Amino acid sequence: MKTPVFNKEFRDRLHDLLVWRRDVRRFRTDPVDEELLSDCLQMACRGPSVGNSQPWRFVRVTSPDTKDELIRAFEAENEKALADYEGEDAALYARLKLAGLREAPVQISVFANVETAIGKGLGSRTMPEAKMYSVVSAVQILWLMLRSYDVGLGWVSILPPDRMASLLEVDSSWVFIGHLCIGYPEEQTDTPELVKEGWQDRLPMEKFLLER
């Protein structure tokens, strides 16, 4: 295979892709093409993983009953989260739309099979959590691939992690990473919704860079 050339034009477009990737909560109900979805999942599975363990497990949720259970679980956890805030923060939190569980046409729960024998434990004996980090890396690739097709992804973390394996009837040893809502966004924007709503601004990179 010929080695690709990544020139300035490519880097500029990649920069645009990274800037315009959003955590989407507001979806149109248009269906997502199955071939498109398969291509994005294939690329996610080419992501790096500790010891080449490939611990990602994608569970596509299609049952209306299961979706209803997810919505109820989200609403219960969201109420608990709201109770942790007071005053203006509580009022703003209550107004935020934090999931597209009712609208998104494609929904996938993502787990890490932390006990997989694939990879023979290489690199994860000292840091078992590296398998979970590997799955997060795969989700990020999926996110960017979908965005390249103008499809949005919203990562729902306001769900009970200890109940998700049971709710979705998968191996109890799998670790829940997140529930992904996928579909065409109502709008395309380069501004995070939480910034637009006044919850939290982006901070400069220098804020997070340390030297020792």
169-200 per-position pLDDT tens digit: 999 999 999 999 999 999 999 999 999 999 99
Q: Is the pLDDT of residue 1 over 90?
A: no
pLDDT band at residue 56, thresholds of 50, 70 and 90? Answer: very high
Domain encompassing residue 78: 24-187
How far is the CA of 92 from the CAs of 89, 159, 200, in angstroms? 5, 20, 11
For the four alpha carbons of 9, 36, 179 and 70, in that order, the dihedral sign comes to positive
Closest CA to 156 of 189, 136, 181, 186: 181
pTM: 0.95
Is 29 contained in some domain?
yes
In whole angstroms, give the CA distance from residue 145 to residue 141.
6
Task: Map residue 110 onto helix, strand or coil.
Answer: strand
Is 125 contained in some domain?
yes
Is 7 contained in some domain?
no
Is 2 contained in some domain?
no
Q: Is the pLDDT of residue 59 over 90?
A: yes
How are strands ordered across the β-sheet holding 56-60? 56-60, 106-112, 175-183, 152-156
pLDDT of 102: 96
Token output for 174: 């799998």
Per-residue model confidence as pLDDT tens digits over 62-88: 999 999 999 999 999 999 999 999 999
Taking residue 189's Cβ as centre, other Cβ atoms within 10 Å add up to: 13
pLDDT of 77: 98
The secondary structure of 131-179 as a DSSP string is HHHHHHHHHHHHHHHHHHTT-EEEEE--S-HHHHHHHTT--TTPEEEEE
Percentage of residues in the chain with pLDDT exceeding 70?
100
Is 158 contained in some domain?
yes
Give the chain's domain count: 1
Token output for 207: 């804020």
Is 147 contained in some domain?
yes
| Mean pLDDT, all residues of the chain | 97
Q: Which residues of 73-95 are buried (b: 16+ CB within 10 A; e: fewer)?
A: bbeebbeeeeeeeeeeeeeebee
Across the range 92-96, mean pLDDT stands at 97
pLDDT of 63: 97
Token output for 131: 């398998």
Token output for 178: 């997140």
Per-residue model confidence as pLDDT tens digits over 98-132: 999 999 999 999 999 999 999 999 999 999 999 99
Task: Residue 178: give its domain's CATH number.
Answer: 3.40.109.10
Across the range 20-33, mean pLDDT stands at 96
pLDDT of 185: 97
| Identity of the amino acid at 111 | F
Residue 137 burial (10 A CB sphere; 0-12, 13-18, 19+): middle
8 A C-beta contact, residue 52 and residue 131: no
